Structure 1
Amino acid sequence: MNLIILFEKDFITENKVRLKDRRLKHVLTVHRAKLGDTLRVGLINGKMGKGMIIKLNEEEMEMEVELSEPNPPPLNAQLVLAMPRPKALKRIVQDVTTMGIKKIYIIKTWRVEKSFWNSPVLEEDSLFENMILGLEQGKDTILPEIEVVKLFKPFVEDRIPDIIKGTRAIVAHPVQDTECPRSIKEPVTLAIGPEGGFIPYEIDMLVKQGFEVVSLGERILRVETAIPVILGRLF
């Protein structure tokens, strides 16, 4: 936990917070903090700063906080992600949140197993929990927006044109000769398919809307591996 995320409910006065949950446990067992220590804190969707511990025991911690620092700039990209395996989605949400992506569309495609949509990982509380873990890691307080889309064709035909407007639209696909571009300066909309990739029909629809199809080379990577590799190349 590189940043302790604070919520409005934590404040007991204008500049004093009280914590009793897993954040307290982390401070005690990982930071091994003591009275008078200063920790990095940030208000959810607000500014960051420092919190000085003024009370600490096994039941609760109180800090005087000063929040005046801006967040790091977001990554200049948005993600269109075919629903992966639920266990992988948890890691992906954490990782892309850590990297600074602020808009994520989780979409249904032909190769996405129907059972995935019943996973509790897609529930609002679960997505929120994994976003918080990503923010804590990346020292950021601004939550991404995650939208779950279960109809592929209407999404691509009706909404994608507005979503990709002003961005370079890129779809990663293992069966493609064009190499992924490197170190670009413009905003990006990145589309990633499920395990096995998009089917040809889906690729054709994305291309018609303005996506360019690129590959990472001969090796086929898992989705959770491909995303940071592609973003590393792009930015």
Structure 2
Amino acid sequence: MNLILLHPGELADSASVVLTDRRFTHIRDVHQVQPGDSLRVGMLGGAIGVARVVQLNPHSVELALDFSAARQPPAPLPVILVLALPRPKMFKRILQTVASLGVKEIWLIHSYRVDKSYWSSPLLTEAMIEAQLLLGLEQAGDTLMPRVEIRKRFKPFVEDELPGLLTGRQGWVAHPYEAEPCPSASVEPKLVAVGPEGGFIAYEVGKLQEAGLRSLSLGSRILRVETAVPVLLSRLFPLS
């Protein structure tokens, strides 16, 4: 946890906060702070400042907040990530990874190779998704929460919504067959679609191409989704 994220509504007053949850446990056990020590804190959706440990006891920590020399969070990636719903086992890791890389808009969609049982996973609740995204933000030192949209029907999404999302953006679908080499990194806005394990089927690739996406390849190696997503983002954008 490289940044202690705070919700504006939990502040005891404008200059202090008392934490009793996992953040407190992390501060106590990992940072091993003492009264007078300083920590980096960020206001969710806002600026990054510092906090001084006022009091530490077995059940809570009190922090005095200082945003007088606040700085802004890292710049978001100019990307919309369209992701076929991953297996629950890797879903949490992918959410954390893309949040830490600066992705701020994620669309989870259905695909032929997405097992229908994945859609009943408790990981898809708003609270569980937010929890994983927070872990990614804390790792990266970011305060801006990504937006997540869920679409359980592939064709209506591709035909009715995808063209609008592509306005003013390059559109790419990660597909290793009959594809263009991955372009050089740039800050130009993009939309990137990544399929499930096994990839999008030919029909789905065709529909995505009809909507305006071009196929790209990361090379001859076939990567797992959890590996392909960060590799793809790092190839398409100059990460900093």
Return the TM-score normalized by structure 1.
Answer: 0.97
**Using the alignment, how far apart are the partners of 1:185 and 1:28 within structure 2?**
40
Q: Distance in 1 between matches of 2:208 and 2:10?
A: 45
Name the CA distance, whole Å, in 1 between partners of 2:7 and 2:180: 46
Match of 1:196?
Answer: 198
CA distance in 1, matches of 2:155, 2:49: 45
Query: Which residue in 2 is equivalent to 1:232?
Result: 234
Give structure 2 stretches of 5+ with no counterpart: none
Structure 1 unaligned blocks of 5 or more: none
**Alignment partner, residue 12 of structure 1:** 12
What's the secondary structure of 2:63's corresponding residue? strand
1:79 corresponds to: 81
Per the alignment, residue 101 of structure 2 pairs with 99
Measure how far apart 1:184 and its partner are. 2.3
2:28 corresponds in structure 1 to 28
Q: What SS does structure 2 have at the residue aligned with 1:166?
A: coil
> Structure 1 stretches (4+) deviating beyond 6 angstroms?
none
Following superposition, the deviation at residue 10 of structure 1 comes to 2.6
Q: C-alpha distance in 2, partners of 1:208/1:23?
A: 47
Map 1:51-130; keep pairs closer than 5 Å. Answer: 51-67=51-67, 68-130=70-132
Q: Distance in 1 between matches of 2:178 and 2:91?
A: 25
Determine the C-alpha separation between the residues in 2 that align with 1:46 and 1:216.
Answer: 35
Tell me the secondary structure at the aligned position of residue 235 of structure 2: helix
Alpha-carbon distance between aligned partners in 2 of 1:60 and 1:7, rounded to the nearest angstrom = 17
Hey, what does 1:147 align to over in structure 2? 149
What SS is found at the alignment partner of 1:184?
Answer: coil
Q: How much has 1:177 moved relative to structure 2?
A: 4.0
- Partner residue, 1:163: 165
Residue 207 of structure 1: aligned partner: 209
Say whether 1:183 aligns with 2:185. yes
> How many angstroms does 1:71 deviate by?
1.1
Give 3-state SS (helix, strand or coil) of 1:126's partner: helix
Give the one of 210, 219, 225 matched to 2:221.
219
Residue 137 of structure 1 is aligned with which of 114, 136, 139?
139
Amino acid at match of 2:134: I
Give the letter for the 1:62 counterpart: E
**CA root-mean-square deviation:** 1.0
Q: With the length of structure 2 as denominator, give the TM-score of the two structures.
A: 0.95
1:172-203 CA-to-partner distances (Å, cap 9, x unmatched) read: 01223421112123111000000111111111
Q: Report Cα offsets for 1:215-235 as digits up to 9, x if no partner.
A: 111111000000111111111
CA distance in 1, matches of 2:66, 2:3: 14
Residue type of the partner of 1:151? Answer: R
Paired residue type of 1:119: S
